[in-house]
């Protein structure tokens, strides 16, 4: 009935490109990288692929400084946040009981019914903070 994803050359290539990266990348970057490798794929196809994978939970997304969407293959399907290195772009998934508890507590204090939350932490990773 709905969305039975098909295996196409384009999607294979896009997925492979994502697999090579540990960092978050934009649709534009994926497209440019593939072009450089000689794979002429429509930019719209890249946008559509990343969007649908994100919607089906296979990709994580964060917003870059200039407001663009950056994607990365999502390791676990559990709830988590990200710790991103501002130097090399490397990103780790994090999940902290303590952090979640703090957030719950804040919501409770203000009598909010918690819906969702986003936490993004930026810094320099072990290798980059000389």
The tokens for 113 are 């019914």
What one-character DSSP code corresponds to residue 25? B
Residues in region 58-87 near a second copy by CB under 8 A:
63, 67, 69, 83, 85-86
Strand duo 69-73 + 59-63: pairing: antiparallel
Q: Is 6 helix (H, G, I), strand (E, B) or coil?
A: coil
Residue 50 contacts a second copy per CB under 8 A: no
Q: Which of 17, 18, 59, 69 binds DNA (CB under 7 A)?
A: 69
**How many whole angstroms separate alpha carbon 105 and alpha carbon 112?**
10
**How many whole angstroms separate alpha carbon 61 and alpha carbon 43?**
18
Residues in region 20-59 near DNA by CB under 7 A:
26-28, 40-45, 47-49, 51
In whole angstroms, the minimum distance from the beta carbon of 96 to DNA comes to 28
Residue 103, contacted partner among DNA, a second copy, none, CB below 5-8 A by kind: a second copy
Which residue do the tokens 């295996």 mark?
7
Task: Supply angle C-alpha 48, 57, 44, rounded to 5.
Answer: 5
In whole angstroms, the minimum distance from the beta carbon of 99 to DNA comes to 26
Residues forming contacts to a second copy in the complex (CB under 8 A) are 63, 67, 69, 83, 85-86, 92, 94, 96, 98-99, 102-103, 105-107, 110-126, 129
């Amino acid at each position: 009935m709905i969305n039975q994803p098909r295996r196409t050359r384009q999607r294979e290539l896009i997925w492979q490109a994502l697999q090579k990266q540990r960092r978050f990348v934009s649709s534009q970057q994926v497209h440019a990288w593939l072009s450089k490798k000689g794979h002429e794929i429509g930019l719209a196809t890249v946008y559509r692929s990343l969007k649908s994978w994100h919607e089906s939970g296979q990709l994580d997304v964060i917003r870059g400084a200039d407001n663009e969407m950056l994607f990365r293959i999502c390791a676990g399907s559990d709830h988590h946040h990200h710790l991103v290195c501002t130097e090399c772009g490397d990103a780790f998934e994090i999940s902290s009981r303590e952090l979640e508890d703090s957030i719950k507590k804040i919501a409770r204090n203000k009598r909010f019914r918690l819906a969702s939350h986003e936490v993004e932490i930026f810094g320099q990773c072990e290798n980059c903070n000389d």
